[in-house]
Structure 1
Amino acid sequence: MKKNILEISSFSNEKLKYISGLKEKKNREKSGTFFIEGFREIQRAQISGKVKFEYILTCPDCYLGENEEDLVSSIDAKTILVPKQIFEKISYRDRPDGLIATAELPDFSLSSKTKLSDDPILVIEGVEKPGNLGTILRTAEGAGFHKVFVADPRLDLFNPNVIRSSTGTLFTLDVFQSDIKELYPILKNAGYKTFAVTPEAKSLHWDADLKGKVALVFGSEQYGLSEYARSQSDQYISLPMKGVADSLNLAMSAGILMYEVLRQKSQIDN
């Protein structure tokens, strides 16, 4: 289907100022919309079925592949064409690939309708750094963690850095935002064993039985786990630290633990 395309060549245009403004949290909250940049990220948002698109901003001079026009044509959104210098000014990236979309903010809140299977679950409490959360989501997708609960975050899930670092897996995973005190009873009622990952734990991660219905629980980069999460968890585990540093980056720690769960699960499957 041939789409009507609006060509705009001035950054002072109100539509372009609106799209660019969505890089800031206050504007996302005010409008109820957000900013998705990149072919892969937009494609995964579309595939997920969770996102209702509004605008697609395009710049063919910035395209890096051959499938951009097919993607633009397949999305039900108003299309805007801009010159390279305008696109680069709006872009959040050092090397933009010619595609930016805006969409309505999806609802990722936890509800009574949320169903849990027997698969392992990841819980991230109080996360502060968008890049860390995005990397964790990308790793979770690779390790087979289909549900990620972001509890009491100190960031906006729809920060462009979260979307970029997650390579769009923010949309393809089942991601839920919740209060930690709301989440623990749900996990316990579903029969999950919760493992609090904390440096002071005496049990190392490779000695823990991480098979079956397990939930790995990580705290924030600066503050660690809350007292509530510590008190409600079934077991404490830690990663061995052999050097001067007393802890690892949050995304690194989560990645190691998720792949240990995958390793233990594969032993059962084989």
Structure 2
Amino acid sequence: MKKPLEITSFSNEKLKYISGLKEKKNREKSNTFFIEGFREIQRAKASEKLEFEYILTCPACYLGENEEELISSIDAKTILVPKQIFEKISYRDRPDGLIATASMPDFSFTQNQDLSGEPILVIEGVEKPGNLGTILRTAEGAGFQTVFVADPRLDLFNPNVIRSSTGTLFTLDVRQGEISELYPLLKEAGYRTIAVTPEAKSLYWDGNLKGKVALVFGSEQYGLSQYARTQSDEYISLPMKGVADSLNLAMSAGILMYEVLRQNR
């Protein structure tokens, strides 16, 4: 492995640049983003979707035995820093000694998007990075391969999305674009769009979720857009027995995705 560049001062411009990628404005300016964690970097690398730039390392923070093997497998400039500097740059309370930077891949969906026929998840207007990351992690667990993030109110490359998804942002086929462009694409491919909304009279366990279905969820605060409310093929809801009138978005999506898995088992 090529000898890393050792830096011992946080005032170094490279370290300021890497740390700055935690902020959206700096990601947009450089078209690069920040990936922290062994598992997240490993999955990003395995996806073959990214072009890496830097790997920031701190052996004093390592939690396992395979960090050096992962570092050597990635074509990137390696920087070695002491623990106190790494902890200052880290996004986590307990960093594991690895941070990478990479060019942003293009996650836009196109009119010739290849759809496999497997169930699809559509999240419209999502606002909270942690929710989106948890949804992606659950989607991967439930066997969903494609997730469309329509009209998002957040940055897909927010470190919280990556952390909460445990790197499944890279292993799934995640696409983003406008909901009005997505629905015609799904209809042409033979998908039924099933909107999940509290107003629906049909409960989810009575719905037919077999075959080519696209589950559609709205934002945490506003729910589904008027377009999704009027253009969806079917509507279902989750029962609410207590005083709360809705569930957390990630939990609702998880329940429905596993119901799809159950019905299609």
What range is the shorter-chain TM-score in? over 0.9
Gaps of 5+ in 1: none
Q: 1:98 and 1:32 mapped to 2: Cα distance?
A: 24
SS at match of 2:264: helix
Answering whether residue 112 of structure 2 is matched by residue 110 of structure 1, we say no
Deviation of 1:113 after TM superposition, in Å, equals: 3.4
Deviations 1:76-112 (A, max 9, x none): 0000000000000000000000000000010000113
Q: Aligned partner of 2:169: which letter?
A: L
| Alignment match, 2:183 | 184
| Alignment match, 1:28 | 27
| Alignment match, 1:150 | 149
SS at match of 1:236: strand
Deviations 1:111-155 (A, max 9, x none): 133200110000000000000000000000000110000000000
Q: Aligned partner of 1:70: which letter?
A: E
Deviation of 1:4 after TM superposition, in Å, equals: 2.8
Q: 2:3 and 2:152 mapped to 1: Cα distance?
A: 40
| Alignment match, 1:77 | 76
Q: 1:183 and 1:55 mapped to 2: Cα distance?
A: 35
| Alignment match, 1:222 | 221
RMSD: 0.5
| Alignment match, 1:44 | 43
Q: 1:188 and 1:175 mapped to 2: Cα distance?
A: 19
Answering whether residue 122 of structure 2 is matched by residue 123 of structure 1, we say yes
Percent pairwise identity: 85
SS at match of 1:217: strand
Q: Aligned partner of 1:214: which letter?
A: V
Q: 2:117 and 2:183 mapped to 1: Cα distance?
A: 16
CA contact under 8 A between 2:111 and 2:185: conserved in structure 1? no
Q: 1:75 and 1:4 mapped to 2: Cα distance?
A: 14
SS at match of 2:180: helix
1:62-73 aligned within 5 A: 62-73=61-72
Deviation of 1:64 after TM superposition, in Å, equals: 0.3
SS at match of 1:102: strand
| Alignment match, 2:248 | 249
Q: 1:252 and 1:162 mapped to 2: Cα distance?
A: 16
| Alignment match, 1:170 | 169
CA contact under 8 A between 2:194 and 2:236: conserved in structure 1? yes
| Alignment match, 2:263 | 264
| Alignment match, 2:2 | 3
Q: 1:80 and 1:91 mapped to 2: Cα distance?
A: 14
Q: 1:233 and 1:120 mapped to 2: Cα distance?
A: 15
Q: 1:77 and 1:114 mapped to 2: Cα distance?
A: 31
| Alignment match, 1:236 | 235
| Alignment match, 2:133 | 134
Deviations 1:31-75 (A, max 9, x none): 010000000000000000001000000000000000000000000
* Residues 91 and 233 of structure 1: CA distance in aligned 2, closer, same or farther (over 3 Å): same
Q: 2:3 and 2:44 mapped to 1: Cα distance?
A: 22
Q: 2:54 and 2:15 mapped to 1: Cα distance?
A: 10
Instruction: Flag as ranges the 4+ runs of structure 1 deviating above 2 A.
Output: none
SS at match of 1:231: helix
Q: Aligned partner of 1:90: which letter?
A: I
Gaps of 5+ in 2: none
TM-score by length of 1: 0.98
Q: 2:112 and 2:137 mapped to 1: Cα distance?
A: 25
Q: 2:234 and 2:179 mapped to 1: Cα distance?
A: 17
Q: Aligned partner of 1:216: which letter?
A: L
